[in-house]
Amino acid sequence: MGSACGGVCACSTCHVYVRTGASLLSEMEDDENDILDKAFDVRASSRLGCQARIERPGEIEIEITRESYDAYYNEHPDERAKR
C-alpha cells in the first residue's frame, strides 16, 4: 500500500478498513482523524495503517482501500505494469 508521507500521518495513502480486530489496535488520535477527513470513501472502520498500532495479540483483518492501491501503483509504475 502507499505511504507517501513516510508514516508520519501527513497523507491518507495508507487508508485501510479494519474488518476484524479493531479492539486490538491503538485508539485513533486527533491527527489521524483529521487526515481521514481528507480521505476518500471513509467508513466507521477506516484507519491509517501507519497510525493503527497493534497493542494486543489476536487476529486482525484489514481491507486495503482503492485509494491506497492507486497511491501505491502511482508511486511504483513498475509494479503497475505487472498488474
Write down the pLDDT at residue 83.
66
Instruction: Give the pLDDT score at 1.
Output: 55
Cα–Cα dist 69/22, whole Å: 21
| Mean predicted confidence (pLDDT) in 57-66 | 96
**pLDDT at position 4 over 70:** yes
> C-alpha grid cell for residue 36?
481521514
Between 58 and 82, the more confident residue is: 58
Tell me the pairing of strands 61-64 and 46-48: unpaired
As a whole number, mean pLDDT of residues 62-75 equals: 88
